[in-house]
A and B are shown apart, each in its own frame.
Chain A
């Protein structure tokens, strides 16, 4: 197997891989996500902004945060914002990131709520929203494909990924049993692999 030894400073302890970021910039980035992430799939918007556009994190680092925020209870995107915010700007960074995701949306909902009923049930608004939702899935799917490509390099991760997709996607099994069964298998395999390589 070509995996680097775990003590190597490749993606993990490398200070270059994660630039610490000013709180003002962090606030600007997350409010930008919070105000533009229409159509759902906010994680995809976040990856686009933090990884691709600003280069503050590697894709691997971001996807680790994604996995952790899915494994813990809570609203995934808020969890992810806290994870990314903490990594980039410490405790204040976590707070700013979470508020950046929540507050603009809350303000927009408060503004819309007043005249929502007259507007949202119109045919055109409905069509436009359906189109936006379809496009937003493209954003989620493009992120999923990037995440998946990493797991295709070796057999075991590939099998775990396929098993997750089949159970959670095709068979619609709830994610808790999927994670509870596949999580220990996959993590245990990595431990075993690490010990064998050492």
Chain B
């Protein structure tokens, strides 16, 4: 029973769900370690390739656990892994949202909200900065990122157009320079 792949997927990913402080990225290393080194559900290169795939699709990168689950035990494995990684933390945030809504406007809540706001802002700035540092494509990538920032701050344009423009500008410039 304990050795059944579905049970193992559950046992591995459920705790990681509640340990993911700072988002899915925080436990990605553990997901890799458990999936590749401990349980051999996927090889290291498969895992890296799956990671690129989940990054390319819209939606959370954490869906990589579903690809791992799929390789471990087919469709059931994919669903089990997704439930295990998403459900526990989702129930927690659901509970907090429920309490929050009932106490809406209470003085303590206003203080907590005001206190957390600058931390959230600082986190957003920090993660944008770290993502920029990790970009491929050097100054061109920075220029694209900053140009898109400017356009989005000052207009209500659909971001999808900007993503498309970013991809196309890389393809055009990459035609002349070696970018990535």
Contacts and interface: CB of A to CB of B under 8 A. Distances in A.
24 contacts: A6-B110, A9-B105, A12-B109, A12-B110, A40-B61, A64-B117, A72-B89, A78-B60, A78-B89, A106-B78, A130-B135, A131-B167, A131-B170, A134-B140, A135-B165, A135-B167, A137-B128, A137-B131, A139-B163, A140-B131, A141-B125, A148-B122, A168-B127, A191-B115
A22 interface: no
A98 B144 contact: no
Interface in A42-99: 42, 44-45, 48, 52-53, 60, 63-64, 66-79, 82-83, 86-87, 91, 94, 98
A28 interface: no
B169 interface: yes
A124 B140 CA distance: 16
A53 B156 contact: yes
Contacts of B168: 128, 131
Contacts of A12: 104-105, 109-110
**Which 6 residue pairs spanning A and B have beta carbons closest together?**
A105-B59, A74-B89, A164-B122, A138-B148, A135-B166, A131-B170
Contacts of B116: 64, 67-68, 71, 183, 186-187
B96 A68 contact: yes
A163 to B, nearest CB: 7
A189 B85 CA distance: 35
Contact of B119 (A37, A48, A144, A183): A183
A73 B167 contact: no
A145 B121 CA distance: 8
A3 B121 CA distance: 19
Contacts of A36: 58, 159-160
Contacts, number: 365
B122 A134 contact: no
Interface residues of A, number: 109
Contact of B163 (A78, A126, A135): A135
Contact of B115 (A9, A108, A190): A190
Interface string B92-118: 111011101100110111111111111
Given A38-B160, A176-B21, A86 B94 contact: yes
A113 B152 CA distance: 32
B56 A147 contact: no
Contacts of A83: 93, 97
B105 A13 contact: yes
Contacts of A172: 130
A9 B70 CA distance: 50
B121 A148 contact: yes
A188 B116 CA distance: 10
Contact of A194 (B62, B107, B131, B142): B107
B68 to A, nearest CB: 12
Contacts of B94: 82, 86, 91, 94
Contacts of B153: 142, 145-146
